[in-house]
């Protein structure tokens, strides 16, 4: 084998060697556990904190309200749609939940809009139906129609 080819092969071997060392050092631990990505990332995403605790947790303490709600039209609604996420309140009861009295919140769902299916939701035109009044003066949001 000519000398220059031998030298070239040596250079190649050194280069490949360096690449292998770099690959060993730089590849994260769980790489290719499931595919060409860091397998540990899945666990890291899963460990994030959940903010909405869901209505079963609310009913643990607020059972009387849960009972009233279970007899009304809003039975399937999550408490936290109106009251906001409950994770801080669950840990510390001094952290108060939102209690929104103004009708903008109600109208988010119940405002008249041609695109909302009529058979799914009761809609009202807030400019005709007791304009400026708060909905909750007449309707109990936990049991709107009974």
Partner 1 sequence: MAIEKENFSRRDFIKNSSMFAGGVVFASLINPYKFVFATKQPKGKGKWYGIGIDIEKCIGCGSCARACKIENNVPDDPFFFRNWVEQYTITNDERILVSSPNGGIDGFKQPVPEEDIYKTFFVPKMCNHCAKSPCTQVCPVGASFESPEGLALVDQSYCIGCGYCVQACPYGCRYIDPVKGVVDKCTLCYHRLEKGLDPACMMACPTGARIYGDLNDKNSAVSLFLKEHNCAVLKPQLNTESKLFYNDLSQEVH
SS3 content of the chain, % helix, strand, coil (to 5): 45, 5, 50
Q: Is 102 in the site for partner 1 (CB under 8 A)?
A: no
Q: Which stretch binds partner 1 (CB under 8 A): 4-12, 63-71, 109-117, 130-138?
A: 109-117
Q: Which stretch binds partner 1 (CB under 8 A): 13-21, 58-66, 113-121, 136-144?
A: 113-121
Q: Is 114 in the site for partner 1 (CB under 8 A)?
A: yes
Q: What mask of x and - would describe binding to partner 1 in positions 54 to 83, judged by CB under 8 A?
A: x---------------------xxx-xx--
Give yes or no for a contact between 74 and 142, defined as CB atoms under 8 angstroms apart.
Answer: yes
Longest dimension (CA), the chain: 99
Q: Is 46 in the site for partner 1 (CB under 8 A)?
A: yes
Cβ of 98: how many Cβ atoms within 10 Å?
11
Kindly list the distances between the CA atom of residue 58 and the CA atoms of 40, 81, 84, 88, in Å, as whole numbers in the listed order. 33, 12, 12, 12
Which string of DSSP letters, residue by residue, matches 105-145?
Answer: HHHHHHB--TTS-TTTS--B-TTTSSTT--GGGT-BTTBTT
Radius of gyration of the chain (CA): 31
Binds partner 1 by CB under 8 A, chosen from 65, 68, 97, 109? 109
Q: Which stretch binds partner 1 (CB under 8 A): 6-14, 42-50, 60-68, 136-144?
A: 42-50
Q: Is 49 in the site for partner 1 (CB under 8 A)?
A: yes
- Shortest distance, CB of residue 137 to partner 1, whole angstroms? 21
Binding site for partner 1 (CB under 8 A): 28, 31, 34-38, 41-42, 44-54, 76-78, 80-81, 84-85, 107-109, 111, 113-117, 120-121
């Amino acid at each position: 084998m000519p000398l220059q080819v031998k030298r070239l092969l040596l250079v190649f071997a050194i280069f490949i060697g360096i690449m292998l060392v770099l690959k060993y050092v730089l590849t994260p631990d769980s790489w290719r556990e499931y595919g060409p990505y860091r397998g540990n990332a899945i666990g890291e995403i899963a460990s994030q904190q959940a903010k909405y605790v869901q209505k079963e947790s609310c009913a643990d303490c607020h059972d009387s309200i849960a009972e009233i709600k279970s007899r009304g039209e809003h039975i399937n609604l999550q408490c936290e749609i109106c009251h906001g996420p409950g994770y801080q309140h669950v840990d510390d009861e001094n952290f108060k939940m939102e209690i929104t009295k103004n009708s903008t919140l109600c109208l988010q769902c119940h405002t008249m809009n041609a695109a909302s299916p009529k058979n799914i939701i009761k809609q009202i035109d807030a400019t005709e139906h007791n304009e400026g009044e708060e909905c909750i003066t007449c309707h109990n949001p936990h049991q709107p129609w009974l």
